[in-house]
Amino acid sequence: MYFTKELIDQSRELTKKWEDEVRKIVGTAPDQKTRRSTISDFEIKRLYTPEDIQDNDFVRDIGAPGDFPFLRGNHITGYRGKCWTFRMFSGMGTAKDTNRRWHLLLKEGQTGLSTAFDFPTLMGYDSDSSKARGECGKCGVAIDTLEDLLTLMEGISMDKVTTSMTINPPATVVWAMYCAVAELKGVPLSKIGGTIQNDMLKEFMAQKTLMCPPEPSVKLISDTVEFGTKYVPRWNTISISGYHIREAGSTAVQELAFTLRNGIEYVEDVIQRKGLNVDDFAHRLSFFFNSHIDFFEEICKMRAARRMWAKIMRDRFKAKNPRSCWMRFHTQTAGCSLTAQQPYNNVVRTAVEALAAVLGGTQSLHTNSLDEVLCLPSEQAVEVALRTQQIIAEETGVANTIDPLGGSYFIEALTNEMEEAAWEYIHKIDDMGGMVAAIEEGFPQMEIADAAYTFQKQIEMDEKVMVGVNKYATTEEPTIPRVEIDDSVEKEQIKRLNSVRRRRDHRAVRRCLDDLKNACKRGDNVMPFCIEAVKNLTTVQEICDVYREVYGEYRDPGYY
Amino acid sequence: MTQRKIRVMVAKPGLDGHDRGAKILARCFREAGFEVIYTGCHQSPEQIATAAIQEDVDMVGLSCLSGAHRYLFPKVAELLKEQGANDVIVIGGGIIPDEDFKMLYNAGLKAIFTPGTPLTEIVEWVKNHVAPRS
């Protein structure tokens, strides 16, 4: 029991009295809206009282920071011991262009790197592929060979700064390049730290950087987990991501449930396929959430996520190491909450979302730039975004105490409710035979599509408000400077790629690709073969073509 | 004889995977009474043009948020023309800077819709500008 019976009785009495008053008031002055709900359409009550959390058991459900169920955070000292990492997602044009932006961000006080790749790299195509026409360097940095990654990492201390890389189907290839660059720079693999996103299951339901079917995709992920466990102990070999699920239009509960269920699928595969013990690798699994505009819902989602993962680890996988129960996560503010109209308002949205992420206890944070709905961020815009985090961290005082909202009737009740709704989804997917089976049936895809459509309808009906879009719209729009990636980037990158192709040892490339293909067919871990191949200047596409050939190619079935 | 319904194809050219808008629009067109074909992500301009002709659609709606619209949209329009399907109306949507509108109209696109456009406005445009071929 969280409260004594006496207190609950007193609360019930007071609440009843208050309810009588409310009824009188709304008789003459009715509420502006009959129903209030979160942006995910989760209904919110007028008032939360001790009765709403009377079933909570303090030790079991709340506990202390750094202790099971980790509701109040993984770390005993919270942000007082270590502030979250300021990690801005960044990538544009060529490796040289991106390296320049990274050095600027580090100079301005960023504490971790995060890489945005362009679409050809994300999908495992070279810059000169016919499929890549018009895309090179547009949404991120173009990487074709090891030489590009060397340029990208120029002047960066790989044993000091951690690097996150948003890469999924070609994660093995790009990670192999990172490992090879570290070796060339004389940094041992045991010293490098960072994250590859490497979460394919959510690609089938959102983001949609696709290559091979779900089954072999999961196998490649297990290869990286095994390789990391043995040789790259400071690396997060996966970032199990709800971010993109949410951007695709899911509700907060769907984001929570599908992300955790994806995590379960990966853990099961590593245990079964690789024979590892859960405590050997679970502490290197990381997560990634969206922080949307509905303030309290986001805070509760993140708190619930930590508690749920701890229970999954302890109860489902029998983890013994408390660190296996830690849900460590990065957060990005919601790109989909930003508006092209009145773009300066986006600074405010991002600040609110960043604050929610901090109150939810994130370990790492990207804050969107005001212009990201229109183009890649300008230097001025990214500086405001980074400063937003720094103001929250160093001026507002919100990081002074751990989980400051813990114990609030509303926060704890909503955390419980979201957890309960997420378990329902997880059990349903268990019953379907797991996430791969659910994806093959189109289940998460349709759930997300339904939620996205419902939200859009609510906007159209003015049931939900987007300032500057369906309310307070203005006809005159301010013009903001727009970053443009010139089409010449494509030419320059192709020239660079061709020069590598001319210089490299063709027989070695052929041999590496054959070795990789045989390894894939045998079911061996591909990582050592990838590292050997990228060192011999094999391109991203050449390796991915081997995967496509051996494992087959997956096409978006286009659920809507 | 009853008139044929407006038949539209919503297509995602290129490597861009931002399909939230395209899928919402596909559903919205269906609710408006159109016959809808949605291609899914990652279609080449050639695949889109061929499918549009095979499916005998009255309109193709292209969605791209990656910045590759400058190559992809005109390419689809050009391929349709080359294959004698000049009467298929092509419209586009996504993150399209104002500066690119003229180039896209010159390439044969009939309308461009950017973020924040109400769905009803797009549906109305289609009803007013696309007639089902008999």
- For chain A, give the number of residues: 560
CATH of the domain at A294: 3.20.20.240
Residue A52 clears pLDDT 80, i.e. is over it = yes
Same domain, A432 and A504: no
**CB spacing of A449 vs B27 below 8 angstroms:** yes
Whole-angstrom distance, CA of residue A183 vs CA of residue A177? 10
Q: Could you say which of A122, A133, A452 has the minimum Cβ distance to residue B20?
A: A452
Write out the residue range of the structural domain in which residue A56 sits.
1-8+33-61+235-472
A47 in a structural domain: yes
B64, closest residue in chain A (CA to CA) = A135
Identify whether residues A345 and A439 lie together within a single domain: yes
Rounded to an integer, the average pLDDT of A2-10 is 93
- Same domain membership, residue A490 and residue A448: no
- Residue A270 covered by a domain: yes
Q: Is the same domain home to A266 and A408?
A: yes
Those residues with Cβ within 8 angstroms of residue A209's Cβ, 6 or more apart along the chain or in another chain? A119, A122, A123, A168, A169, A203, B15, B17
Task: Quote the pLDDT of residue B18.
Answer: 95
State the pLDDT at residue B2. 63
Q: What is the pLDDT of residue A379?
A: 92
**A46 and A93 belong to one structural domain:** no
On whether both A326 and A461 belong to a single domain, the answer is: yes
Picking from A472, A494, A529, the residue at the C-terminal end of a domain is: A472
| Residues A104, A176 share a domain | yes
Same domain membership, residue A369 and residue A288: yes
In a domain, A523, yes or no: yes
Pairing mode of beta strands B59-64, B35-38: unpaired
User: For chain A, how many structural domains are there in total?
Assistant: 2
CA A348/CA A399 separation, integer angstroms: 20
Cβ atoms < 10 Å from Cβ of B92: 28
Regarding whether A377 and A296 lie in a shared domain, the answer is yes
Domain stops at, among A472, A500, A516: A472
- What is the pLDDT, as a whole number, of residue A1? 61
pTM of the model: 0.96
Quick check: A207 and B17 CB within 8 A? yes
Asked whether residue A489 falls in the same domain as residue A465, the answer is: no
Q: Point out which residues pair with A322 in neighbouring strands.
A: none
Statement: residue B1 has pLDDT above 60: no
Q: Whole-number mean pLDDT of chain A?
A: 96
DSSP codes, A42-91 = -B--S---GGGGTT--IIIII--TTSTT-TT-SSTTHHHH-PPEEEEEE-
Which burial class, exposed, middle or buried, applies to B110 when counting CB atoms under 10 A from its CB (0-12, 13-18, 19+)? middle
Question: Would A207 be classed as within a structural domain?
Answer: no
Question: What are phi and psi for residue A43, nearest 5 degrees?
Answer: -70, 135
Chain A residues lying within 8 Å of B23, measured CB to CB: 449, 452-453, 559-560
Q: Which domains does chain B have, with CATH numbers?
A: 7-128 (3.40.50.280)
Chain A residues touching residue B13 (CB < 8 angstroms): none
pLDDT band at residue A486, thresholds of 50, 70 and 90?
A: confident
**pLDDT digits 0-9 by tens, A410-469:** 999 999 999 999 999 999 999 999 999 999 999 999 999 999 999 999 999 999 999 999
Distance CA A111, CA A132 (A): 33
- The residue of chain B with its CA nearest to that of A122 is B15
Nearest to A452 among B14, B24, B69 (CB): B24
Residue at A210 is within a domain: no
Closest CB to A132 among B15, B38, B97: B15
Q: What pLDDT is stored for residue A481 in this prediction? A: 86
Q: In what order do the strands lie in the sheet with A238-241?
A: A235-236, A194-196, A163-165, A112-115, A85-90, A364-366, A328-333, A285-291, A238-241
Residue A361 lies in a domain: yes
User: Strand pairing partners for B43?
Assistant: B13
* Contact status, residue A376 vs residue A483, Cβ threshold 8 Å: yes
Q: Which of residues 27-46 of B touch A (CB under 8 A)?
A: 27-28, 38-42, 44
CB nearest to A558's CB, from B24, B38, B95: B38
Among the candidates A413, A447, A472, a domain finishes at A472
Question: For residue A557, is it within any domain?
Answer: no
DSSP for A129-142 reads SGGGTTTTTTSSB-
Instruction: Read off the tokens for A105.
Output: 């961000």
Q: What number is the ipTM of this complex?
A: 0.95
User: Is residue A13 domain-resident?
Assistant: no
